[in-house]
Amino acid sequence: MAAQGNSYRELLPHLFRLEYSKMTAVLCRHFGLQHIEVAEDIASETFLRATEVWGIDGIPENPTAWLYTVAKNKTKDYLKHVTVFETQVKDKIKPDTLTTEEDFDFTQQAITDSQLAMIFAVCNPANVAEAQICLALQILCGFSLQEIADAFLTKTETIKKRLHRARVNLRNDTFQIRLPDEESIRSRLDAVLSTLYLLFNEGYFSRSNNHLVRKDLCSEAIRLAVVLTGSPLTNTTQVNALLALMCYQSSRLNARANDEGEVILFEQQDKSLWSQPLIDKGNYYLVNACSGNEISRYHLEAGIAYWHTTPADASKWQHILQLYNQLIIMAYSPVTALNRTFAFAKVYGNEKGIMEAEKLGLSGITYYHSLLGYLYADTNAEKAIAHYTQAIHLTKSASEKRTLTKEIERLRRAFPSPGSGCDQLVV
């Protein structure tokens, strides 16, 4: 055995995030999505067993392989010894919905194929689009109820009911988990990409965790998007555009937060920490995305992210503003409107930016007040502090609260009366 002690307590949550959804996907492909609870139970019991054994014996030489070995053994035990399966489930499953035990394994190819099939199966037209996304975030990505609620800016009880209805619909539908055909892709790809987009955003700017940046979620979103590019049926220009966006944004992750998890503002970031290989990958996927005539929101956002990774020049923010002008027409959201306002202020000045922001009337959103705090800081420190204070009241992120508090303290020290200078809050 390898490392001893309490280190397993740090490793297991990481492995759970990375491997639980893979394990569930393979098991669901075996049992059928109608019986997803069986797959989830076996996966959960596997990690529970790891907690018990690793706490005594230490972490095994290959912890991931250990988990899949236990999951495979538990599955075989379930198929052989659980009476419920024999009497209530087996006779109800059509013969071609259950693979033979000999074909069942956690090979890398089985995991990849199962995940590709799983995400399209979960994004089933039997459910409305929002329910599809919620279900995929929970099953495929391992989101908690609170994380899903935060991603949708709604209450956990609402998400709980939505998930319950979605699961009932899946149980009542007789579809199977298979590699998607062209028709399934056309009808479900939008929901699939929305799921990955929300997953990445939750990692890039976490609303539900004390850490502003959650690299594990960003990595998971990129990994699943790469799975899509591995199949000719799903290697579309939209998928490549989304991957380009993720790579550009991820290239700055190491520079976005300090060791305490506090945000480092865009203009203060150490650009030597930006990942050039990820920027290069972003360029690669963006070129692939531009191989056709389609322009999606992901193309526009990838273009914006591209300009953020380039050296500053006189026309940089004009290009970004033009892209935001197109994006806000194609896919309006409050955050997009506020981001456009920031770019607008960069081009036309803070005073006009303030007027543009106040037209939006988004006073219930944290970013609205942090943006106005930034825009007012050059001319009216008192108003800037007031908006930063309101932003602190509205945010759930502990790291964001600390960052905003430091901005207030800095303004009070340096500018006891309205003065100039405030660091950029858009990251």
Tokens representing 359?
């037209």
Cβ partners under 8 Å of residue 261, min gap 6: 210, 211, 212, 213, 399
Cβ partners under 8 Å of residue 346, min gap 6: 317, 320, 321, 353
What is the arithmetic mean of pLDDT over 207-217?
Answer: 62
Distance (Å, rounded) from C-alpha 176 to C-alpha 193?
21
Cβ partners under 8 Å of residue 305, min gap 6: 244, 245, 248, 249, 282
Q: Could you read off the pLDDT of 101-136 as tens digits, one per residue? A: 445 667 777 777 777 888 887 777 778 878 888 888
Distance (Å, rounded) from C-alpha 196 to C-alpha 218?
9
Q: Which of 17, 12, 37 is nearest to 27 (CA)?
A: 37
Reduced DSSP (H G I as helix, E B as strand, rest coil) percent helix, strand, coil of the chain, to 5: 75, 0, 25
What is the arithmetic mean of pLDDT over 230-240?
Answer: 90
Q: Could you read off the pLDDT of 311-349 as tens digits, one per residue? A: 777 789 999 999 999 999 999 999 999 999 999 999 999
Q: Which DSSP string corresponds to 219-288?
A: HHHHHHHHHHHTSTTT--HHHHHHHHHHHHHHTTHHHHB-TTS-B--GGGS-GGGS-HHHHHHHHHHHHH
Provide the residue count of the chain: 427
Q: Could you read off the pLDDT of 262-288 as tens digits, one per residue? A: 777 777 888 889 999 999 999 999 999
CB 390 within 8 A of CB 364: no
Report the DSSP beta bridge partners of residue 263.
257
Q: Could you read off the pLDDT of 13-59 as tens digits, one per residue? A: 878 877 887 888 888 777 766 667 788 888 889 999 999 999 888 89
> Which H or E element spans position 405?
helix 398-414
pLDDT value, residue 160 = 93
Question: Within 13 Å of residue 40, how many CA atoms lie on the same side as its CB?
Answer: 11
Q: What are phi and psi of 268, to 5 degrees?
A: -100, -5
Distance (Å, rounded) from C-alpha 278 to C-alpha 298?
17
pLDDT, averaged across the chain: 82
pLDDT value, residue 240 = 97
Report the DSSP beta bridge partners of residue 257.
263
Q: Identify the band that residue 424 occupies on the pLDDT scale cut at 50, 70 and 90.
A: very low
Q: Identify the band that residue 305 occupies on the pLDDT scale cut at 50, 70 and 90.
A: very high
CB 30 within 8 A of CB 24: no
Instruction: Kindly tell me if the per-residue pLDDT of 408 is higher than 80.
Output: yes
DSSP letter, residue 87: I
Quickly name the fold that domain 334-414 has: 1.25.40
Question: Angle at the Cα of 344 (from 342 to 347), degrees rounded to 5?
Answer: 115
Q: Identify the band that residue 87 occupies on the pLDDT scale cut at 50, 70 and 90.
A: low
Distance (Å, rounded) from C-alpha 136 to C-alpha 121?
9
Distance (Å, rounded) from C-alpha 303 to C-alpha 170?
37
CA dihedral 111, 151, 401, 334 (to 10 degrees): 130
Percentage with pLDDT > 90 across the chain: 38
pLDDT value, residue 17 = 73
- Look at 111 and 355; give whichever has higher pLDDT: 355
DSSP letter, residue 126: T
